[in-house]
A and B are shown apart, each in its own frame.
Chain A
């Protein structure tokens, strides 16, 4: 069984097509990079795959659960790290996790394990409002992992973090993949996608314009215009989407 199966997934907003009939599969334990400029439909896709948004057309299954009709069965199988730091800032990391543990019916003993796993054990009882961005991001990851999901959705997990924290989080993703967790990753950092992802899909204007391993994408010839291989995933991205990463990021 594939971890994620998407068939002709489409979503319209007030007549505008945000996601346009995309199809792909993600294998269990795979790190799947999902790239695209702002407004390409990445977050909309994640919202559909995590049951937050109903597709206009098409189907999606995560761990065999239909994201529309089997949401209750889907939710315990997935963990989501959002692109924004949506934690309860008046609560400590421990209390945030205690709340999540109660929601998922996870034993409290697991909280200490996860806190240690993400390196938050020493600040666990501090009010999370006082955490740095890096610590908050660790808390988000801890919350997403608390119930040991089979599929982890990471939406821009290293955005705005200092290089050391970003490196820790990348190492963390690699470890999770080794443990068999499927990771669905969106990022603006091509190097990150290149290094972490087993396969990469590039989304442009709601459509998947490329889907392959980073190595194959780089090796692919740029159509009739060029006969040389791309030197980086960023070159592939720019060639396919027509927008530079810097421009995309600044948008």
Chain B
């Protein structure tokens, strides 16, 4: 056993140290970091210089709402049927936004303290700045001093919330899957193209050692990327262990996919062609799921069975307030089942290629 572990570790260690000098791997890794960072900052960059969104639920028929709609200090969104409806929409926010409830008797001069809501991932400084800005503007519009109560009014995402949670889920899924499609097969191709695989196979290492070592190296790269993702999205994550678990399951799937691609291809050209096919098969369902409301029910039911959509859904569930096991068991089971299918295929390929 210790001999097998020593051999696997030797190959893994070589791959990890070699990566530091390997431009292909380094470029791929840096691209992943850039991608995941871009998904993180793009929504925030978009909102710079823009008036903040205020989602207003008007319980009565307040004149203030009409005045707010014409204000330049913020962009007021109105017309919600209930407070719950407003909160549901607020949970879809991409940038710091404020939800506000105007009580039914506001115009009668009651209600100098309004209930305001912000998403849990908005940092305190931004929340206070937003609150003060809105307080100042609605005090001016109403002609009397109004304050907004935020304490205890935090809004959490739901498993099907869009906005920042969806973007983060997409960014994380995309990055993890790209490790599988681009990095891991390159580890195998490098050995094939340099014919170092022949030297490996006359050493005590066998095809199984090589495959497991490449999987470990792939998991190492995935772990680095996951660490970066968790650091960048730390405010979004409410159940750290669950998000980590989902990402690791995703990484296992990605690595298994990468091993299969690596075992099926003999050149970078082949990998590019096959890789792009796989990218389309993985990412198209995720893109379609983003417009879920426009899809026929049967198509959505099919898309949910694809591993990429399962990963995206599991991540979004992990960001939600109360991710029960009943919610995430199906997507996680799907990811693991796909992983098992891929690993069996890899084992079959390795066995077939072994002499």
Please determine whether B198 and A102 come into contact, CB atoms closer than 8 angstroms: no
Please determine whether A88 and B195 come into contact, CB atoms closer than 8 angstroms: no
Please determine whether B355 and A53 come into contact, CB atoms closer than 8 angstroms: yes
Chain A nearest Cβ from B5, distance in angstroms: 11
A10 to B9, CA, bound (A): 36
A76 to B204, CA, bound (A): 7
Contact status of A102 and B6, CB under 8 A, knowing A52-B355, A89-B194? yes
How many of chain B's residues touch chain A, expressed as a range?
20 to 34
Chain A nearest Cβ from B40, distance in angstroms: 32
Is B13 among interface residues, defined by CB-CB distance under 8 A? yes
Is B141 among interface residues, defined by CB-CB distance under 8 A? no
Chain A 54-76, CB-CB to B under 8 Å as 1, else 0, gives: 10000000000000000110011
Contact status of A80 and B202, CB under 8 A, knowing A99-B10, A105-B6? yes
Chain B residues within an 8 Å CB radius of A76: 204
Contact status of A75 and B202, CB under 8 A, knowing A82-B195, A90-B22? yes
Ranked nearest first, the 4 interchain pairs of A and B with the lowest CB-CB distance are: A102-B10, A86-B195, A90-B21, A54-B355
Please determine whether A78 and B18 come into contact, CB atoms closer than 8 angstroms: no
Number of A-B contacts (CB under 8 A): 68
Please determine whether A103 and B203 come into contact, CB atoms closer than 8 angstroms: yes
Chain A nearest Cβ from B159, distance in angstroms: 45
Please determine whether A91 and B21 come into contact, CB atoms closer than 8 angstroms: yes
Chain B nearest Cβ from A84, distance in angstroms: 5
Please determine whether B201 and A105 come into contact, CB atoms closer than 8 angstroms: no
Known: A51-B201, A104-B203. 5 other contacts (CB 8 A): A82-B195, A95-B17, A103-B11, A103-B204, A143-B199
Chain A nearest Cβ from B80, distance in angstroms: 59
Chain A nearest Cβ from B223, distance in angstroms: 21
- The answer, among A53, A72, A82, for a CB contact under 8 Å with B204, is A72
Contact status of A86 and B194, CB under 8 A, knowing A91-B21, A102-B9, A102-B13? yes
Chain A nearest Cβ from B149, distance in angstroms: 61
A64 to B205, CA, bound (A): 20
Chain A residues within an 8 Å CB radius of B18: 88, 90-91
- The answer, among A50, A78, A88, for a CB contact under 8 Å with B14, is A88
Please determine whether B196 and A87 come into contact, CB atoms closer than 8 angstroms: yes
Which residues of chain B from 1 to 35 have any CB-CB distance to chain A below 8 Å in the complex?
A: 3, 6-7, 9-11, 13-14, 17-18, 21-22
Is A100 among interface residues, defined by CB-CB distance under 8 A? yes
Contact status of A99 and B14, CB under 8 A, knowing A54-B355, A87-B196? yes
Chain B residues within an 8 Å CB radius of A100: 203
Chain A residues within an 8 Å CB radius of B206: 71-72
Q: List the A residue with the shortest CB-CB distance to B23.
A: A90
Chain A residues within an 8 Å CB radius of B7: 103
Contact status of A52 and B10, CB under 8 A, knowing A75-B203, A75-B204, A103-B204? no
Chain B nearest Cβ from A54, distance in angstroms: 4
Chain A nearest Cβ from B29, distance in angstroms: 15
26 sample A-B contacts, Cβ–Cβ < 8 Å, listed by A number? A50-B202, A51-B202, A52-B201, A54-B355, A71-B206, A72-B206, A75-B203, A78-B202, A80-B199, A82-B199, A84-B195, A86-B196, A88-B18, A89-B194, A90-B21, A91-B17, A91-B18, A91-B21, A95-B17, A99-B10, A99-B13, A102-B14, A103-B7, A103-B200, A105-B6, A127-B21
Chain B nearest Cβ from A80, distance in angstroms: 5
Chain A 15-55, CB-CB to B under 8 Å as 1, else 0, gives: 00000000000000000000000000000000000111110
Chain B residues within an 8 Å CB radius of A53: 355
Q: List the B residue with the shortest CB-CB distance to A129.
A: B21
A215 to B198, CA, bound (A): 35
Chain B residues within an 8 Å CB radius of A127: 21
Chain B nearest Cβ from A126, distance in angstroms: 13
**Among B9, B206, B355, residue most surrounded by chain A Cβ atoms (within 10 Å):** B355
Chain B nearest Cβ from A83, distance in angstroms: 10
Chain B residues within an 8 Å CB radius of A87: 194, 196
A208 to B203, CA, bound (A): 28
A114 to B84, CA, bound (A): 75
Q: List the A residue with the shortest CB-CB distance to B18.
A: A90
A82 to B17, CA, bound (A): 24
A54 to B354, CA, bound (A): 9
Please determine whether A52 and B198 come into contact, CB atoms closer than 8 angstroms: yes
Chain A nearest Cβ from B8, distance in angstroms: 10
Chain A residues within an 8 Å CB radius of B21: 90-91, 127
Chain B nearest Cβ from A110, distance in angstroms: 15
Please determine whether A104 and B204 come into contact, CB atoms closer than 8 angstroms: yes
Chain A residues within an 8 Å CB radius of B203: 75, 100, 103-104
Please determine whether A103 and B10 come into contact, CB atoms closer than 8 angstroms: yes
Chain A residues within an 8 Å CB radius of B194: 86-89
A76 to B3, CA, bound (A): 12
Q: List the A residue with the shortest CB-CB distance to B209.
A: A103
Chain A residues within an 8 Å CB radius of B14: 88, 91, 99, 102
**Among A54, A84, A90, residue most surrounded by chain B Cβ atoms (within 10 Å):** A90
Which residues of chain A from 92 to 125 have any CB-CB distance to chain B below 8 Å in the complex?
A: 95, 99-100, 102-105
Chain B nearest Cβ from A51, distance in angstroms: 7
Q: List the A residue with the shortest CB-CB distance to B197.
A: A86
A50 to B203, CA, bound (A): 10
Chain B residues within an 8 Å CB radius of A90: 18, 21-22
Chain B residues within an 8 Å CB radius of A102: 6, 9-10, 13-14
